[in-house]
Amino acid sequence: MGAGGGDRGQAGVPRPHRPGVDRHASAEPAAAGPLGRVREGTGTVLSQLSLYEVFARQAELRPDAPAVTDGREELTYRQLADRADRLAAAILREVPGPGARVGLCLRRGNDVVVCVLAVLRAGCAYVPLDPSYPADRVRYMARDAAVDLVLTDHDADPAVLPDAGRVLPLGPALWRDDAPGAGEVAVTPDEPAYVIYTSGSSGRPKGVVVSHRNVTALLESCEKVLDTGEDDVWTLFHSYCFDFSVWEMWGALSHGATLVVVPADVARSPEATLALLRERRVTVLNQVPSVFRYLSRASADEALAVRYVVFGGETVDVEAVRAWRRTHGPAAEFVNMYGITETTVFSTFRRLLAHEIDGTPAPEAQSESPDPAPDPALNIGVPLDGFELVLLTDEGKVAEPGQMGEIHLAGPQLALGYLDRPELTAERYPTLTLPGREPRRYYRTGDLATARHDGTLEYAGRADDQVKINGYRIETGEVETALRGTPGVADVVVVAATSRIGERMLVAFYTTTPGGGGDGPAEGLPQRLAARARAVLPAFMVPGRFVAVAQMPLSPSGKTDKRALAERLTRRPSGGIA
C-alpha cells in the first residue's frame, strides 16, 4: 500500500506508484463498428484527483449548500469537510500513516459519509464491516484486511475485532471546532480507496481492492448517461458494504448535490420510502429491482420529483416499472446498469424505452432489425465510455452476432485485484491479446451474454454457480461450506429459486448421515441448519428453505445436477416455494 502502510501482503494487487448530456439520446449507436465483437466507449480523460479532492472542489464551490442529511442532522459541504478533516487527523494519530486500512463498523447515518471522507482524506483505504453481520464474519474480514483501526459509532464487542488493532469510537470531541486538521497528505489516484468483500466460492469472502482512479473513471463514464448537477437530491439507499453505495455517495458529492441517507427502517418500508422521496424532493433514486418491485406497488397521494431511477444488481422487473408509471406518471427515466464489484459498480447501461414499458409495438425503424425485439428485462445495453467489452466463446474466439460468450471487460474501472490472492487475481484478470489489438488486462466476469446486431447485449446467466439475491452476489459454494459442518448432515447443495410471489431466494438441499431419515428430515435438522446459517452468514445469504433428499441427483458427467434439484421445487404439490 502507500507509505506508512508497509508491504502488508497485498499480493496480487499492483503496488501503486506515487508520483453536455442529451438525456433522450438512444443507448444504441447508429454505427457499432465490429458488431458483436469488441465494443469500446469513446473514452474520457481520467481525473488526476483523489476522491477527497473531488469532494473538496465542491466544498470550495458550494460551502453553504446542503451536502448530507440523515433526518437527524443536516451538514453543509463546509461542515462535512471540516468534520472529515478533523476526524482524518484523529485517524492519522492512531495508524502507522497514510496507506493504512481502516475498518468502518457503523450504523446508517451521516457518520458513514463523514468516516468515508475522513479515511480518504487521511490517505487510507476504508474496509466496510457491517455490524449486523455475524461476529465470525466481521472478525474474519477485519483480520484478512489487516485493518489498523476500526471506527465505530456504537459499543463494538471486543471479541468481534480481536485482531483489528485499535477501535476508535466516534463522538463530537473528535471534530470539535478547536480540534486540529490533518494537514497535507499526498494521495495519488492509483492508491486504494476501499476494500469491499464479496462472497467467495472457497467458503470465505474475498476482498476486492478499488482505487481512487477506478471510482473517478466510473463518475466520468456516467456523465453522458445521467444529466445531474448541484440541484439534484440523491438517496444513499444501500448499505455502505454494498458497492452500489459508492455510486450513490459519489454521484451526489462529485456534483455538489444533496445526499439523503435512508435509515434502515425506512428502507424496509415502501410507504416510508415514498414519504421520504416526497418530503426530501429526491430526484435520483437507485434501486435493486427486487426492492423496487415493492416500492412500485405502494400508493402515493402526492407527486414526486424523481427524474431518474437507476437499476443495478439484478434483471429489471418491467411490470414494476409499468406500475410505477401508472402511479407516478412518465416523468422519470429508467436506466438499467450492469456491472460488478471487480469493475467498479457499473460497466454497461441501457435506457428503458417508452414502448417497452407500455407494452406497445416498437417504432418501425427498430422493428426492421434482424434481431428479435430486445427483452428489456435482460438487455444490458452497451459499454459505458472508457470500457472495452468483448464476448469470448468457450473456444476463446470473439462471439459473432447471435452467439453467446462470456463477458470480458477492460478499461480504467478494472479494480486493482483481490486482496492477498495473487493466483485468483491472475485467473480473473488475465492479459489477453485479441485479434488486431495490443495485449490488455481484462476481467473475466463469469457472466454470459448474446451479441446482437444492434451492438447491445442480452444477458444469458452465469457460467458458474454464482447467483444474485436482492442484488447481493452470492457464491453458493460459500453457503454450502458453511452448512456442511452441521451435525447429522452428509452433504448440502444450494440453488436459487423463485417463490410463488416472485421473490428470489436460496434453497438448501441436504442429505443426512446414516440414521438421518432419507427423504424425511431428521428431527430438528432444518432448524439446526437454519441456526448454523444465521450464526455464520449475513442475512442475505441464509437459505429460505431447507429440503431433505435421499441422494443428490447426478448429471451425465457425474456432477450434482442443480437443475434437477430446482425442478423438484416446481413439482411440489404446493405449486411453489412457501
Task: Give yes or no for residue 146 having a pLDDT over 60.
Answer: yes
Domain endpoint, select from 418, 449, 464: 464
Task: Give yes or no for residue 339 having a pLDDT over 70.
Answer: yes
Return the pLDDT at 71: 93
Residues 166 and 222 in one domain: yes
- C-alpha count within 13 angstroms, C-beta hemisphere, residue 529: 32
Return the pLDDT at 25: 37
CA distances from 449 to 154, 381, 394, 399, 489 (A): 45, 11, 12, 10, 37
CATH number of the domain that 414 lies in? 2.30.38.10
Q: Which amino acid is at 455?
A: G
Q: How far apart are alpha carbons 423 and 425 in whole angstroms?
A: 5
CB 344 within 8 A of CB 214: yes
Residues 451 and 485 in one domain: no
pLDDT tens readout for residues 188-203? 999 999 999 998 777 7
Residues 457 and 472 in one domain: no
Task: Give yes or no for residue 164 having a pLDDT over 80.
Answer: no
Q: Where are the alpha helices (DSSP H) in 106-234?
A: 110-121, 135-144, 212-221
Return the pLDDT at 555: 65
Residues 516 and 420 in one domain: no
Return the pLDDT at 524: 83
Mean pLDDT of 533-553: 87
Of how many residues is the chain composed? 578
Mean pLDDT of 246-259: 97
Query: b vs e for 114-148, b when ≥16 Cβ sit within 10 Å of the residue's Cβ?
Result: bbbbbbbbbbbbbbbbbbebbeebbbbbbebbbbb
- Strands 149-152 and 166-169 turn out to be parallel
- Give 224-267 as a DSSP string: TT----TT-EEEE-S-TTSTHHHHHHHHHHTTT-EEEEPPHHHH
CATH number of the domain that 204 lies in? 3.40.50.12780
Return the pLDDT at 286: 97
Residues 221 and 331 in one domain: yes
375 occurs within a structural domain = no
Residues 234 and 122 in one domain: yes
CB 487 within 8 A of CB 532: no
CA-wise closest residue to 129 among 100, 106, 112, 156: 106
Residues 101 and 240 in one domain: yes
Residues 133 and 152 in one domain: yes
Q: How far apart are alpha carbons 346 and 411 in whole angstroms?
A: 12
Other C-beta atoms within 10 Å of 275: how many? 15
CATH number of the domain that 494 lies in? 3.30.300.30
Return the pLDDT at 574: 39
pLDDT tens readout for residues 70-89? 999 999 999 999 999 999 99
- Has this prediction a pTM greater than 0.85? no
372 occurs within a structural domain = no
Q: At what angle do helices 135-144 and 525-536 cross, to 10 degrees?
A: 40
Return the pLDDT at 3: 34
452 occurs within a structural domain = yes
71 backbone φψ class: left, alpha, beta (φ>0; ψ -120 to 50):
left
Q: How far apart are alpha carbons 12 and 51 in whole angstroms?
A: 23
CB 381 within 8 A of CB 459: no
DSSP classification of residue 560: B
Residues 349 and 410 in one domain: no
Task: Give yes or no for residue 502 having a pLDDT over 80.
Answer: no
Q: Where are the alpha helices (DSSP H) in 133-204?
A: 135-144
Mean pLDDT of 37-60: 72
Share of the chain above pLDDT 70, in %: 84
Mean pLDDT of 380-397: 92
Other C-beta atoms within 10 Å of 259: how many? 25
Task: Give yes or no for residue 161 having a pLDDT over 70.
Answer: no
More confident residue, 500 or 29: 500
More confident residue, 393 or 361: 393
Residues 432 and 549 in one domain: no
- Total structural domains within the chain: 3
Residues 357 and 433 in one domain: no
What are residue 17's phi and psi, to 5 degrees?
-90, 135
What are residue 438's phi and psi, to 5 degrees?
-75, 155
More confident residue, 470 or 369: 470
7 occurs within a structural domain = no
Residues 6+ apart with CB under 8 A from 38: 388, 389, 390, 398, 434, 437
Task: Give yes or no for residue 552 having a pLDDT over 80.
Answer: yes
Cell numbers at residue 451, please? 451479441
Domain endpoint, select from 367, 397, 423: 367
Mean pLDDT of 7-14: 40
Domain containing 257: what range? 38-367
Model confidence band, residue 125 (pLDDT cutoffs 50, 70, 90): very high
More confident residue, 374 or 151: 151
